[in-house]
Amino acid sequence: MHAVINDIVSSTEKRVQSIETKNRLPADKNDNTNKKDIVTAINKKKTQGKVAVIAEVKPASPGKKLRDIGPEDAAIIATEMEKAGAVGISVLTEPEFFHGSTDNLMSVRNEISLPVLRKDFIIDEIQFDEIESDLILLIAGILGDQLESMVEMAMLKGFEPLVEVHNESELKKALDTKTRIIGINNRDLNNLEIDLATTLQLIPIVKKFDDNNGQNHIIISESGMHTIDDVKMVIKAGADAVLVGTSIIKSGEIYAKTKELVDALND
């Protein structure tokens, strides 16, 4: 892993220790009975001839701040994304490197009707008790041998796990879990370089697995999509949805940029 990723994981380990002293969710709040189904939403958007865009409320990347986003602003941004046709909203909750917060997530989830993904570095089961969301990100390259048990625990707690992979080895481990959703991150966590070819290379492996096993995973392409052509390429390669943050936030035109990507296939 790149040194930055290792630093984020170390920071997360310290953050996890502090969760013990906070008010954790009551047991009856962990079932996520009001969970919104992203799989149905993605499939519906596809039948409409639109791109299923999961738009991200993203204050920063490591070393690159995009804009200040507090809870009130997060809700406004998410509302614009929803109006523009996004199929779901991703909210960063990692505080130190991405300037996210669980307050932002709570604000967004209270304001919109779309499924909400918690985007963070989940490394411990206690994080499942921290805050409710419809989906939760689980990164295969970070969880390693814990991946399968963390997927099962996420589902037990009422979350829809989105398992993120970056290479064939991680993908095969993800396919051995019960996750319905595979996220292909075009950013290599070893060098932080982005290559959309990663999505193109890994999609056929998922399709072959599904054909052989009677399954139908949802594939989400993540990172590095800035233009209509970028989105068209991964969708035509077989991605069911895209997750886009930086280009939407940097545009300064949340509604217009989100709608441009949603309508990419109509261009």
- The one-digit pLDDT tens for each residue of the chain (267 residues) are 678 888 888 888 888 888 764 555 555 445 555 678 999 999 999 999 999 999 999 998 876 888 999 999 999 999 999 999 999 999 999 999 999 999 999 999 999 999 999 999 999 999 999 999 999 999 999 999 999 999 999 999 999 999 999 999 999 999 999 999 999 999 887 777 889 999 999 999 999 999 999 999 999 999 999 999 999 999 999 999 999 999 999 999 999 999 999 999 986
> Which parts of 120-244 are beta strand (E)?
135-139, 160-165, 181-185, 218-222, 241-244
Residue 44, both tokens: 């519906």
Is 119 catalytic? The answer is yes
- The verdict on whether 222 is a catalytic residue reads yes
The predicted pLDDT at position 31 comes to 54
Q: Is 148 a catalytic residue?
A: no
Which token pair is 180?
């319905």
Q: Amino acid identity, residue 19?
A: I
* Beta strand 60-61 pairing with 64-65: antiparallel
Spatial contact of 266 and 235, defined as CB atoms under 8 Å apart:
no
**Catalytic residue chosen out of the listed positions 36, 45, 50, 58:** 58
Q: Where are the domains of the chain?
A: 41-266
Q: Residue for token digits 């949340």? A: 254
Q: Which of 90, 104, 185, 221 is catalytic?
A: 185
Q: With contact defined as beta carbons under 8 Å apart, do 187 and 193 qualify?
A: yes
**pTM metric for this prediction:** 0.93
DSSP secondary structure letters along 46-96:
HHTT--EEEEEE--EETTEE-----HHHHHHHHHHHHHTT-SEEEEE---S
CA atoms within 13 A on the CB side of 179: 31
For the segment(s) 41-266, the CATH number from 2.60.110.10, 3.20.20.20, 3.20.20.70, 3.40.50.150 is 3.20.20.70
Per 3-state DSSP, the chain is made up of helix, strand and coil in percentages (nearest 5) of: 50, 15, 35
pLDDT of residue 131: 93
CA 241 to chain centre: 11
Catalytic position from the list 186, 221, 223, 247: 223
Residue type at 257?
K
- Set 164, 186, 247, 260: catalytic member: 164
Q: Given phi > 0 = left and psi -120 to 50 = alpha, else beta, which region is 14?
A: alpha
Helices 254-262 and 71-83 pack at an angle, to 10 degrees, of 40
